[in-house]
Amino acid sequence: MTEIIIDIRNVWKIYTMDEVKVNALRGLNLKVKKGEFLGILGKSGSGKSTAMNMIGSLDTPTKGDIYLDGVNISNLSESQLAQLRGKKIGFIFQTFNLIPSLTTLQNVMLPMMFQNISPEKREKIAMEILNSLGMSHRLHHTPAKLSGGERQRVAIARALVNNPEVVLADEPTGNLDSKTGKEVVDILRNLHEKDKKTIIIVTHDEALVKVCDRVCYLKDGEIIKEFKKGEKLTLQELR
């Protein structure tokens, strides 16, 4: 039996804006298998970002349950969520979210500080991962001195240092040119195929999800269609 690492059950997220209630998610149900390469596709306003926050335990649902590796995270405290996130999930953001004043090496070492890893081991792990991503010559450069592709490689390295079971990528090629974007996708595919990581890409880019095992199309806070690898993405009637 295939192990389920993320199980989202009837999750609603309701925001109140100027006394108006906005249903960002409407009874979302999603199971993610361990080792799966999943794409979550949808237009702006479809609920993708909210879904990502739920999957990544960055936010808690208004109602419903979210299980991460068998643990119901819906009612955990923020400190408990932070610990679980740090161990289980690596985040790759469209805007990189690197700290401008820190070097490449320091940015990548940072997540390990919160897992009580010794400075010597932090540096060793960070250097090994940066070397594997072709960044060993940029260890002491700050983000301002890096290209967009280099910044994304640093962001990927930072996502991997705690050896997470799930890598969650939010529009990972959104700020990159097509050639650099392809290189980033190849890195993610390599993580999936060789390291058996569970990869989840949240995007509006239909071309990007062609590498996924499965694609869930989100509209108005609900998954309204799923596609398996090799199936044609017929989305015109869904928009």
CATH number of the domain residue 94 falls in: 3.40.50.300
27 is a domain residue: no
pLDDT exceeds cutoff 60 at 116: yes
81 is a domain residue: yes
Query: Tokens standing for 209?
Result: 């999800």
pLDDT exceeds cutoff 80 at 208: no
138 is a domain residue: yes
26 is a domain residue: no
Q: Give the pLDDT score at 238.
A: 57
Our CA angle for 91, 37, 224, nearest 5°, is 95
**Region label for 35, one of left (φ > 0), alpha (ψ between -120 and 50) or beta (otherwise):** left
pLDDT exceeds cutoff 60 at 148: yes
206 is a domain residue: yes
State the average pLDDT over residues 142-167. 94
State the average pLDDT over residues 162-179. 88
25 is a domain residue: no
**β-bridge pairing 4-17 and 222-228:** unpaired
103 is a domain residue: yes
Please give the residue range of the domain that contains residue 97: 38-57+75-230
Domains held by the chain: number: 1
Nearest residue to 192 (alpha-carbon basis) of 32, 48, 16: 32
pLDDT exceeds cutoff 80 at 236: no
pLDDT exceeds cutoff 60 at 32: yes
Dihedral angle sign, alpha carbons of residues 62, 202, 172, 122: positive
State the average pLDDT over residues 110-137. 93
In contact, 122 and 136? CB cutoff 8 Å: no
Cα separation, 193 vs 198, in Å, equals 10
216 is a domain residue: yes
